Copies of this chain bind each other. A is one copy, B any other.
Amino acid sequence: MQTSTSTSTTTTSRAIGIDLGGTAIKGAIIDGSGVVGAVTRVPTEAHGGGQRVLGNILSLIGELIEKSGAPASSFVGVGIGTPGFVDGDGTILGGAENLPGWKGTQVYSPVTERFGLPAAAANDVTAVALAELMFGAGRGVKNMACFALGTGVGGGIVANGRLYKGSHGMAGELGHIVVETGGRECPCGQKGCVERYASATGIVQTAIEMAAEGGQTQLAQLARGNPAAVTSKAVYERVAEGDELAVRVHENACDMLGRAVGIMINAFSPDRVVIGGGVAMAGGVIIEAVKRYAALHSWPAIFERCEIVPAQMGEDAGVLGAGALAIEEFGG
Q: A168-B269, A177-B263 are in contact. Are A160 and B160 (CB under 8 A)?
A: yes
**Complex interface bits, A172-213 against B, C-beta within 8 A gives 1, otherwise 0:** 111011111101000011101000000000000000000000
A166's nearest neighbour on chain B, judged by CB, is: B269
A86's nearest neighbour on chain B, judged by CB, is: B301
- Counting chain B CB atoms within 10 Å of each CB, which of A166, A173, A259, A262 scores highest? A166
A180 neighbours in B (Cβ, 8 Å) = 181
Select which of B157, B269, B302 is within 8 A of A267 by beta carbon.
B157
The minimal Cβ–Cβ distance linking A153 to chain B, given in whole angstroms, is: 11
User: Are the CB atoms of B269 and A176 closer together than 8 Å?
Assistant: no
The reply to whether the CB of A87 lies closer than 8 angstroms to some CB of chain B is yes
Cα separation A298 to B174 with both chains bound (whole Å): 11
The minimal Cβ–Cβ distance linking A300 to chain B, given in whole angstroms, is: 7
A162 neighbours in B (Cβ, 8 Å) = 160
- Chain A contact residues, majority secondary structure: loop
Select which of B171, B178, B262 is within 8 A of A262 by beta carbon.
B178
**Complex interface bits, A125-166 against B, C-beta within 8 A gives 1, otherwise 0:** 000000000000000001100000000000101011010111
Q: A142-B167, A176-B299 are in contact. Are A190 and B160 (CB under 8 A)?
A: no
Q: A159-B159, A181-B180, A268-B157 are in contact. Are A170 and B301 (CB under 8 A)?
A: yes
**Complex interface bits, A62-96 against B, C-beta within 8 A gives 1, otherwise 0:** 00000000000000000000000101100001000
**Complex interface bits, A263-303 against B, C-beta within 8 A gives 1, otherwise 0:** 11011111100000000000000000000000011111110
The reply to whether the CB of A305 lies closer than 8 angstroms to some CB of chain B is yes
The minimal Cβ–Cβ distance linking A73 to chain B, given in whole angstroms, is: 29
A159 neighbours in B (Cβ, 8 Å) = 159-160, 164
User: Are the CB atoms of B297 and A168 closer together than 8 Å?
Assistant: no
User: Are the CB atoms of A167 and B267 closer together than 8 Å?
Assistant: no
Q: A299-B189, A300-B189 are in contact. Are A171 and B267 (CB under 8 A)?
A: yes
Q: A: which residues have CB within 8 A of B?
A: 85, 87-88, 93, 142-143, 155, 157, 159-160, 162, 164-168, 170-174, 176-181, 183, 188-190, 192, 259, 262-264, 266-271, 296-302, 305
Can you list 30 residue pairs at the A/B interface with Cβ under 8 Å? A85-B301, A87-B301, A93-B301, A142-B167, A143-B167, A155-B267, A159-B164, A160-B162, A164-B268, A167-B271, A168-B302, A170-B269, A170-B299, A170-B302, A171-B269, A172-B269, A173-B266, A173-B299, A174-B266, A174-B267, A176-B266, A177-B266, A178-B297, A181-B183, A189-B296, A189-B299, A189-B300, A190-B262, A190-B297, A190-B298
- Additional A-B contacts beyond A172-B267, A190-B298 (12; CB < 8 A): A87-B301, A143-B171, A155-B267, A164-B268, A166-B270, A167-B269, A168-B302, A173-B266, A173-B299, A174-B267, A181-B183, A264-B267
